Amino acid sequence: GAVVSQHPSRVICKSGTSVKIECRSLDFQATTMFWYRQFPKQSLMLMATSNEGSKATYEQGVEKDKFLINHASLTLSTLTVTSAHPEDSSFYICSARVSGSSPEQFFGPGTRLTVL
Amino acid sequence: DAKTTQPPSMDCAEGRAANLPCNHSTISGNEYVYWYRQIHSQGPQYIIHGLKNNETNEMASLIITEDRKSSTLILPHATLRDTAVYYCIVRVAGGAQKLVFGQGTRLTINP
């Protein structure tokens, strides 16, 4: 299957700082990417849908000014957690849909964010 | 998207077939059934999907009942590496195509 990478895989930061997470589709073009968050022992929660060249669509309850999403190219989407606080500590996962008619989504390995 | 119901946990002996059920009684005619799994601290992995016919690939088989209200994912010869949380998701093929994850089934393969 198609490969999606995330960087960094793990990040620790101080409260109040901003953290950027990159999601890349390595061997395919992705017009749509998705960002999820997963707390310990819980399921994945969709945060937003990112479309190349347009504004992201956020799920209800997700603050768009806190979680900035940019999808500037067909292979890269970034999620920036602004002014991070300890409650933002979580496992952030992106997925990408292959352009065209394929319904499959391929997931990145995830980024574990710890805010001290 | 239709909601799904899965048992929270299951156990299976290594080498045996693992049969994971999923109920989706409110599924619509244009909604597919997808299965993903998530091994601890990794991103989810696509397994298989289907509309109404049974499907098989190198990873698993998907059996969908005739009324489409339930399905079963079959791992024919489970190994320890198949220990994971398995998610059954139903959704339409077009549109936003976002995946809404439920709680899934935590499958433990025992030696």
Q: Quote the tokens at residue B48.
A: 């298989």
* Cβ(B88)–Cβ(B21) below 8 Å: no
- What is the structure's pLDDT at A29? 87
pLDDT greater than 60 at residue B64: yes
- What is the structure's pLDDT at A97? 84
Q: Quote the tokens at residue B46.
A: 């696509």
B1: Cα separation from own chain's centroid: 16
Check B44 against A57: CB less than 8 A apart. no
CA angle at A93 for the pair A89 and A97, rounded to the nearest 5° = 160
Is the CB of residue A93 less than 8 Å away from at least one CB of chain B?
yes
pLDDT greater than 80 at residue B94: no
Check B100 against A46: CB less than 8 A apart. yes
Nearest CB among B32, B43, B99 relative to A110 is that of B43
* Cβ(B14)–Cβ(B110) below 8 Å: yes
Chain A (17-56) residues lying within 8 Å, Cβ to Cβ, of chain B: 32, 34, 36, 43-46, 49
The order of strands in the sheet holding B105-110 is: B9-13, B105-110, B84-92, B31-38, B45-50
Which residues in chain B touch residue A108, judged by CB atoms under 8 angstroms apart? 43
Mode of pairing for the β-strands spanning B61-64 and B70-75: antiparallel
- Which long-range contacts link A45-50 to residues 24+ away (Cβ below 8 Å)? A45/B101, A46/B98, A46/B99, A46/B100, A46/B101, A47/A79, A49/B96, A49/B98, A50/A77
The amino acid present at B70, given as its one-letter code, is S
Which residues in chain B touch residue A1, judged by CB atoms under 8 angstroms apart? 46
| Nearest CA-CA distance, residue B103 and chain A, Å | 5
Reported confidence tier of residue B100, pLDDT bands at 50, 70, 90: confident
- What is the structure's pLDDT at A103? 63
Reported confidence tier of residue B99, pLDDT bands at 50, 70, 90: confident
Q: Scanning every residue of chain A, which has its alpha carbon at the shortest distance from the alpha carbon of B46?
A: A106
Nearest CB among A36, A97, A107 relative to B97 is that of A97
B57: Cα separation from own chain's centroid: 13
| Nearest CA-CA distance, residue A48 and chain B, Å | 9
Mean pLDDT calculated for residue range B73-83:
97
- What is the structure's pLDDT at A52? 83
- What is the structure's pLDDT at A100? 65
What confidence tens digit (pLDDT) does each residue in B4-56 have? 999 999 999 999 999 999 999 999 888 899 999 999 989 999 999 999 999 99
One digit per residue, the tens of pLDDT, for chain A of length 116 reads 689 999 999 999 999 999 999 999 998 888 889 999 999 989 999 999 998 888 899 999 999 999 999 988 889 999 999 999 999 999 999 999 876 656 678 899 999 999 99
- What is the structure's pLDDT at B79? 97
Which residues in chain A touch residue B1, judged by CB atoms under 8 angstroms apart? none
- What is the structure's pLDDT at A51? 86
